[in-house]
């Protein structure tokens, strides 16, 4: 029996009004912890560009890099529902490129869904990728890959006109084949309306409690605060402070020669040190 969480499980959770727990993370070690904490979904986000590589936006991250880290996350969390972010220019150039690049995540990294940041201009792309047998999560609301166009981001859907546009966009995305949504930085009331009208699961990223599930990036959850943390992020731990304390304790132990000690060192077999000393004397 396959224990892996599937899209059917997410649809059942939506119908049963059971919140879906999603985490965005980027590495094997963290993904193992997320899996042990019984999350439902991991998204390997292109925010790795900022939180792993230190860039100031998501644009520089490459497709090869994303495929590599996504495969690592799958090895760590074989049973969780796995979604991969399509990085900048991996799908904007053509529908054929989008299918080819999205397919790499399925064949090389074992994902069950790929995420596209989309506007109505990408309906044909979503349709083409979905028709190729690749499930698509449509990312609407704040679109980080559009930072060059937007200049800076603000909450989406805060007026009735803007909200109606998002509702219509979501409906068109479903008709084009979108199998799930991620709504980022959108007014909670609008995200709830979209969720109630949507036949597919809707995950909130800073879009209020009315969606089918919630997602935050692992570093924010753990309290590994960075300057990129959005206002909707919440720390559920203080590992940042505790990590600094641990690194300082390690440094002090090294400087005072308390680490490593005998218990944290390998040793020669009995009698071999004396034999080595004899060999060294003979070779003087």
Active site residues: 184
Burial 235-272 (b: 16+ CB within 10 A, else e): beeebeeeeeeeeeeeeeeeeeeeeeeeeeeeeeeeee
92, 117 in Cβ contact below 8 A? no
- Segments in 16-109 forming alpha helices (H): 28-36, 48-51, 63-76, 95-109
Residue 269: enclosing H or E segment and its boundaries?
none
Could you tell me the CA-to-CA distances from 68 to 42, 58, 64, 90, 217 in Å, in that order? 15, 17, 6, 15, 18
68, 75 in Cβ contact below 8 A? no
């Amino acid at each position: 029996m396959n224990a892996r969480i599937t899209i059917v499980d997410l649809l059942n959770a939506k119908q049963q009004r059971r919140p879906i727990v999603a985490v965005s993370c980027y590495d094997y070690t963290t993904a193992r912890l997320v899996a042990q904490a019984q999350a439902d979904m991991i998204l390997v986000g292109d925010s790795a560009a900022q939180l792993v590589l230190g860039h100031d936006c998501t644009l520089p991250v490459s497709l090869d890099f994303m495929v590599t880290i996504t495969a690592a996350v799958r090895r760590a969390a074989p049973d969780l529902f796995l979604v991969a972010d399509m990085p900048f220019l991996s799908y904007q150039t053509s529908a054929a490129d989008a299918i080819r690049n999205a397919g790499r995540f399925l064949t090389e990294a074992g994902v069950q869904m790929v995420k596209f940041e989309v506007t109505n201009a990408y309906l044909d792309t979503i349709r083409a990728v979905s028709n190729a047998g690749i499930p698509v999560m449509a990312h609407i609301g704040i679109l980080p890959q559009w930072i060059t166009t937007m200049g800076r981001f603000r909450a989406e859907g805060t007026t009735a006109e803007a909200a109606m546009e998002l509702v219509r966009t979501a409906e068109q995305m479903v008709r084009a084949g979108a199998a799930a949504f991620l709504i980022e930085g959108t007014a909670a009331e609008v995200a709830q309306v979209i969720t109630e009208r949507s036949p597919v699961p809707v995950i909130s990223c800073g879009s209020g409690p009315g969606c089918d599930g919630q997602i935050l990036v692992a570093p924010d959850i753990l309290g590994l605060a960075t300057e990129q943390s959005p206002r909707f992020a919440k720390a559920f731990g203080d590992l940042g402070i505790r990590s600094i304390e641990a690194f300082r304790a390690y440094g002090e132990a090294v400087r005072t020669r308390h680490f490593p000690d005998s218990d944290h060192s390998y040793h020669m077999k009995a009698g071999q040190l004396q034999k080595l000393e004899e060999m060294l004397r003979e070779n003087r």
